[in-house]
């Protein structure tokens, strides 16, 4: 990977160049919670100063710019005796500034699902290819556990990635596009001092994690604990509300339904993100439900993320952002659930 440094004023210039020609999305402050902490969401910005690059986490993951909660897959017009179909993959180019490593790694996982398998998704691909990503490092919050799941560092999936060295940014270049972009501002070759400062920052970040999850051998532990009573304990708490999957940067399950205009002249296939925690997720013809109980649904969320996905892609489908844990009203979160299973195994 190539590295450069960028003075802060130059970075501002870079964003302003991008703003002049593209939609730019970034972390924006949207309010304050009851504990006085700021709330942030990824939203379109119109000026550099609207970006809150020092945000801790966002309420919703940036995945919604690639996998929207709802989208029309295709639309139809019906004539008296025929019909036409309209499918649009084209999207406007977009820039996302300020994605943290976990969220970029979330996209890298989604890439595996939506671009590599037998049926790549043209919808996902067009958004992914037309989105320029500038990521940024941050000191982990008390509940972040991205390091435990190997998602605290990014190697791919972005165009530029910034680390804040106080007076300047240390910039990792992740693509030709990112390289080209740096040509338009005054980016400097890195010095020994830059390298030393960057490494010191990396250590500072690594040492700042307070939450650790042991995911070594987790798939086999999950196999052994399939019948564990603990699933009932956690399942009894679960509200089956789906909030966890909605805010998760890697969950990708969806349903498709049809919408037909009331004059029966037009229609659309609508895709809507869904969640394995929801009661009707595994409902099939004849009203049979493969996962009728809360515990079975909650369990499968953990099995998909930490066992099934590992089997398919050699890594968990979790980047340790703890958005699910934060959004869950009853406090179900991966570090506690996994620690509970591990403690059970040792008992």
Partner 1 sequence: MKYLRIEPRRPKVGIFDFTSCEGCELQLVNHEESLADFLACVEIVNFREASAARDDTYDIALVEGSISRADEVERLKSIRAKAKTLVAFGSCACFGGVNRLKNACDLVAANREVYGAHPKETLPVRAVKEIVPVDLEIPGCPVNKPEVERIVQHLMMDLPFQLPVYPVCVECKQRFTTCLYERGELCLGAISRAGCDAPCPAGGLGCWGCRGPALDANVEAFRSMVRERGFSQRELDERMSFFGGFEVRS
Shortest approach of partner 1 to residue 155 CB, angstroms? 30
7 binds partner 1 (CB under 8 A): no
Q: For the window 183-222, what string marks contact with ligand SF4 as x by the rule CB under 6 A?
A: ----------------------------------------
Q: What would the DSSP string read from start to end of 138-188?
A: -PPPTT--GGGGT-SS-SSS-SEEEEE-SSEEEEEE-SHHHHHHHTTTTEE
Q: Choose the contact partner of 139 out of ligand SF4, partner 1, none; CB within 5 to 8 A by kind.
A: none
Residue closer to ligand SF4 by CB (options 168, 304) is 304
Site string for partner 1, 12-31 (x = CB under 8 A): ------------------xx
Q: Which of residues 256-275 bind partner 1 (CB under 8 A)?
A: 259-264, 272-275
48 CB-side CA count, 13 A: 12
Binding range to partner 1, per CB under 8 A, among 58-66, 117-125, 182-190, 215-223:
58-66
- Radius of gyration of the CA atoms of the chain, in A: 22
Closest C-alpha among 218, 199, 238 to residue 310: 218
Minimal distance, residue 106 CB to ligand SF4, in Å: 6
Query: Do 170 and 238 touch, CB atoms closer than 8 A?
Result: no
Residue 284 engages partner 1 in binding (rule: CB under 8 A): no
Contact between 131 and ligand SF4 by CB under 6 A: the answer reads: no
Quick check: 242 binds ligand SF4 (CB under 6 A)? yes
In the complex, minimum distance from the CB of residue 63 to ligand SF4, in angstroms, rounded to a whole number: 10
Q: Cα separation of 145 and 143, whole Å?
A: 6
Backbone angles phi, psi at 52, to 5 degrees: -105, 80
Query: Contact at 8 Å (CB) between 123 and 144?
Result: no
Task: State how far the Cα of 158 lies from the Cα of 127, in Å rounded to an integer.
Answer: 13
Could you give the 3-state DSSP secondary structure of residue 127?
Answer: helix
- Tell me: does residue 138 bind ligand SF4 (CB under 6 A): no
Contact 221, 312 (CB under 8 A): no
Collect all residues with Cβ–Cβ distance below 8 Å to 148 and sequence separation of at least 6.
Answer: 209, 211, 212, 213, 214, 215, 320
Count of residues of this chain found to bind ligand SF4 when the rule CB under 6 A is applied: 34
Supply the minimum distance, in Å, between the C-beta of residue 215 and ligand SF4. 11
One residue of 149, 238, 319, 341 binding partner 1 per CB under 8 A: 238
Given the rule CB under 6 A, which residues bind ligand SF4?
Answer: 238-245, 247-253, 275-277, 298, 301, 304-305, 318-324, 327-328, 330, 332, 334
């Amino acid at each position: 990977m190539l590295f450069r440094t960028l003075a802060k004023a130059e970075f501002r210039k870079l964003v302003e160049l991008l703003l002049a020609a593209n939609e730019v999305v970034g972390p924006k402050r949207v309010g304050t919670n009851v504990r006085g902490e700021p709330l942030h969401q990824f939203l379109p910005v119109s000026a550099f100063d609207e970006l809150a690059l020092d945000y801790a986490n966002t309420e919703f993951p940036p995945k919604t710019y690639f996998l929207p909660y709802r989208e029309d897959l295709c639309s139809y017009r019906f004539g008296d005796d025929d019909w036409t179909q309209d499918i649009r993959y084209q999207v406007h180019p977009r820039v996302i500034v300020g994605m943290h490593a976990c969220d970029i790694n979330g996209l890298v996982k989604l890439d595996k699902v939506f671009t590599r398998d037998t049926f790549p998704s043209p919808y996902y691909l067009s958004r992914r290819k037309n989105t320029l990503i500038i990521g940024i490092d941050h000191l982990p919050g008390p509940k972040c556990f991205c390091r435990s799941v190997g998602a605290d560092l990014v190697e791919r999936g972005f165009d530029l990635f910034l680390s804040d060295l106080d007076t300047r940014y240390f910039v990792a270049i992740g693509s030709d596009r990112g390289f080209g972009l740096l040509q338009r501002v005054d980016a400097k070759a890195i010095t020994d001092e830059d390298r030393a400062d960057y490494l010191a920052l990396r250590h500072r970040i690594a040492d700042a994690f307070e939450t650790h999850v042991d995911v070594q051998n987790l798939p086999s532990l999950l196999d052994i604990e399939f019948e564990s009573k603990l699933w009932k304990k956690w399942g009894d708490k679960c509200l089956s509300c789906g909030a966890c999957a909605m805010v998760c940067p890697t969950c990708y399950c969806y349903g498709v339904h049809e919408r037909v205009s009331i004059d029966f002249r037009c229609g659309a296939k609508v895709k809507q993100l869904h969640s394995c925690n929801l009661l009707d997720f595994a409902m099939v013809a004849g009203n049979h439900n493969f996962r009728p109980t809360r515990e079975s649904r909650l369990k499968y969320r953990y099995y998909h993320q930490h066992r099934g996905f590992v089997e398919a892609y050699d890594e968990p489908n979790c980047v340790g952002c703890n958005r699910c844990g934060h959004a869950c009203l009853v406090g179900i979160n991966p570090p506690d659930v996994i620690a509970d299973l591990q403690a059970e195994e040792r008992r």
